[in-house]
Amino acid sequence: MTRKLLPMITASLLLGTGILASVPASAAENPFFQPSKLPYQMPPFDRITDADYAPAFAEGMRRERAEVRAIADNPAAASFDNTVVALERSGRLLSRVSNVFFNLTGANTSDAKEALARDLAPKLAAHHDAIMLDAKLFGRIDALYRQRDHLNLDAESKRLLERTHTDFVRAGARLSAADKKQLKAYNAELATLSNAFSQNLLKETQASAVVVDSREELAGLPENEIAGAAEAARATNTRGLEGKYLLPLMNTTGQPQEAMLSNRALRKRLYEASIMRGNRGGEFDNRAVVLKLTTLRAERARLLGYPSHAAYVLEDETAQTTTAVNQLLARLTPPAVANARKEAAAIQEVIDAEKGGFQVAAYDWAYYTEKVRKLRHNFDEAQLRPYFELNNVLRNGVFYAAGKLYGISFVERHDLPVYQPDVRVFEVFDAAGKPLALFLADFYARPNKRGGAWMNAYVEQSGLLDTKPVVANHLNIPKPPAGEPTLLTFDEVTTMFHEFGHALHGMFSAVRYPRFSGTSVPRDFVEYPSQVNEMWAVWPEVLKNYARHYQTGAAMPPELLDKVTAARKFNQGFATTEYLAAALLDQRWHQLSPEQAPGDALAFEAEALKQAGVDFAPVPPRYRSTYFSHIFANGYSAGYYAYIWSEVLDADTVEWFKEHGGLLRANGDKFRQQILSRGGSADAMMLYRAFRGRAPDIEPLLERRGLTGGTR
C-alpha cells in the first residue's frame, strides 16, 4: 500500500452524524478532489476549510474501495502490475485529505477537526480492515508472493511484493472469518481510544497552564520570557488574568522554566501541574484509557498469534524481539542510574552549601544543575541564548550544514499559502539548481498545537506517481512578544537539527513506490538519520557560523565554544535515566499478556519503575503513562526504545564521519545515496552495514553518554 490504509466511510454515514451539516455545493469547490495545482502539489491551505474534510474523506474512501474492489475482482490472472502496483496507485484522494487533516489536527487543530477525528477514528479503522482482510485480494497477493522468485522483478519491486504480503499477514489476512470479525472490533475500539487519549491530553495541557500572580515570582526568567508569559495571559481572554502571567506546559514531565526560576514554590507548582495531567480525575483523565488500550492491544496480539503487543510490534522492527530490546535497556540502566545518583549528590552539595535545608526534588534538578554546570564549567545556559537567535540558527546553522554536506540550497517563498501566519516555506534546490522539495518550518508553540517536535510529509516522493516531497518540521518554541528576538536554548537548537534530519530523509527520498518513500522505515531506524544530523549542531565549523550574538553579530567567544563542547557529557545521567524510565515503562505496558492487565494504572507504573531499577524520585520518567502520547496516541507503542536503539547506529556513524574528514561533500553524498535516498526500499540494517562496512558498534554510544564504567 502507499500509506496506512484508511477506513471506508460514506457521505450518508457522515450525514447521519451531522458532520456534513455544511459542505461545498459541488466537488469542484472541494480543494481535495483534484491534485493541487500549486508547486509540488502543495496543499492549497488558503482554500481549505473545516467543512471540506468530511466530504473529501467520504469520497476518498468510496473511490479507494472501488479501486480495490476492481483489483480484487479483476478476471485476469494476478500480475505484479495489475495487483501490487495497482494498489500503490490507489487511494490518491484519500491520501491528500488524510495528509492534511491528520497533520493539522496536531499542528493547528480546531473544535471541528477534533469532532470529525472522533467520529472518523473507528470508521477509518474499519476501512483499513475492509481492505487488509479482503480474502479475494489477499489471494492474488499470496499467489504472487509464492511466485516471487520467478517474476523477474527488480530489487525494489520484489521488496514491495514481500512487504505488501507481510503487511496483509500482520493485519490478519490469514485469520478465520470469526477472528476477523473480532479483530475489526478491536481495531475500531483502539482507534477511538487513541484519539480520546490525544484529545484529553491536549485539553488538559491547555487547562493546566500555571497562572502566576506577580512578576516577582518569575525571578530568573529572561525578560522576553516574562513578557511572553504576560502576553499569554492577555491572549486567553479569561477574566481575572489581567496583569498576571501564564506559563503553558510542554509535553514532557520537566518544564523548561524550571531551569531558570529561583522561586522553588513556583517550580513545584509547574512540576505538579505537569505530572498530574491525565490522572487527576475529571473529564480529561486518561487512566482508564491507558488500561483499556493496553488490554485491548494485548488481546489483539494474542488473536494474531503473538504473546504480547510488544512481540507483535518488534517482529517488524530491526530489533525483532522483546529479548533484544530488554537486553539493551538492561545494559544501559544500571550505569545511567548510578551516574544520575552522582549528579544528584553534586546538586545536593550546592543546596547544602547555600543552606537550602531540603533534599533535591525533581523540580529542583534543572535549576541546580545550572549551578553545578557553572561551578564545573564556568558557564550556564543563559550565557548561550543570546548567540542562538532562531533565524540565524536556521539559515547559518541547519541550512549551512546541509549545504556543505549535500550541496543543496534554500530560497524562502512568500507566494505560497500556509495554514498559520508563523509558518514559513522554503524551496529546496539540488546542487545543480534542480528543484528538489518544499520545506515548511512551523517552530512556535500555540494552544491548538500538540506538544513536542516532529516532522511530517504533506506530499511524499514517488517515481511511480511523479511526485516531489513537501515536508514540514514542527517545534514548540515559546513565541516572544512582537519585535523581540527568538532566542533558543541549546536543547532547542539540537532539536532543530534533529527534526531537520527527518526532513532530509523525506526530501532526499528517491524511490519508485510510495510505500517506501522517505521515513517509511522501521520505527527503530527512523530516528537514526535525524540523530546523526544533530552532530552538526556542535561541529566547530557549523557552530562558529551560526553562534553569533543577536545584537552585535559577534561570534561566540572561543572559550565559551570550548566549554559547550567540554560539557556535552554533563548531566547525561539524568538525561539517560529519564529517557530509559519512559522506554522501560513502554515495554512493561506492552509486554503484558491479557491475563496480566492491571487494574490501577499509577500503581502499575510505580511497580514497573521499581522493578526496572529506575524508581529514583529526583529523576522521574520523561513521560508518565497518562501523558505518554508517543505510545498511546502517536504510533510509538512498544517503540519508544527506538531513540536509544537508533543512537547506537548514530554514534557509530558520527565516528565514521570523523574518521573520514567530517563536513565534506563526499561524505554527505555517500550518506545520502546509501541511507537517506533509499527510504524503506531495502532492509534497514542491510543499508547500514553497506554504508558502515560492518555491523554497528555500541561503544561510541556508551562513551557519548558516559556509560563506559561498569558496562563491560
Q: Which three cell numbers stand for residue 27?
A: 466537488
Collapse the DSSP code of 666 into the 3-class scheme (helix H, G, I; strand E, B; otherwise coil) and give the result. Answer: helix
Quickly tell me which residue has 457522515 as its cell: 14
Helix, strand or coil, per DSSP, at residue 575 = helix
Q: Grid coordinates representing 230?
A: 504576560
Residue (of 126, 125, 105, 107) closest to 116 by Cα position: 105
**What is residue 150's DSSP assignment?**
G
Assess contact for 452 and 107: CB atoms under 8 A.
no
What is the CA angle 279-282-284, rounded to 5?
Answer: 65
Chain-centroid distance of CA 449 in Å reads 14
Cβ(513)–Cβ(636) under 8 Å?
no
Nearest to 453 by CA among 610, 629, 654: 629
Rounded to 5 degrees, what angle do the CA atoms 431, 433, 436 make?
Answer: 85
Beta strand 470-477 with 435-444 is parallel
User: Strand order in 424-429's β-sheet?
Assistant: 409-413, 424-429, 435-444, 470-477, 454-459
Q: To the nearest 5 percent, what fractions of the chain are helix, strand and coil? A: 60, 5, 35
| Burial label, 161 (beta-carbon count in 10 A; 0-12, 13-18, 19+) | buried
Task: Name the nearest CA neighbour of 166 among 189, 148, 190.
Answer: 148
CB 517 within 8 A of CB 511: yes
CA separation, residue 654 to residues 93, 661, 665, 706 (Å)? 41, 11, 15, 16
Measured in degrees and rounded to the nearest 5, phi and psi for residue 445 equal -75, 150
499 catalytic per annotation = yes
Nearest residue to 127 via CA among 4, 7, 11: 7
| Interatomic CA distance for residues 113 and 98, integer angstroms | 12
d(CA 447, CA 211): 15
CA distance linking residue 504 with residue 519, whole number of Å: 9
**Catalytic residue (choose from 343, 499, 527, 605):** 499
HSE at residue 422, side-chain half, CA atoms within 13 A, is 20
Q: State the Cα angle at 678 between 672 and 681, rounded to 5°.
A: 170
Q: Find out whether 548 and 391 touch, Cβ atoms under 8 Å.
A: no
CA dihedral of 484, 490, 491, 497, whole degrees rounded to 10? 90
- Three-state DSSP class for 74? coil
Greatest alpha-carbon span in the chain: 84
The answer to whether the beta carbons of residues 14 and 20 sit under 8 Å apart is yes
What phi, psi does 33 have (nearest 5°)? -65, -25
Q: In angstroms, rounded to a whole number, what is the distance separating the alpha carbons of residues 612 and 151?
A: 49
State the catalytic residues.
499
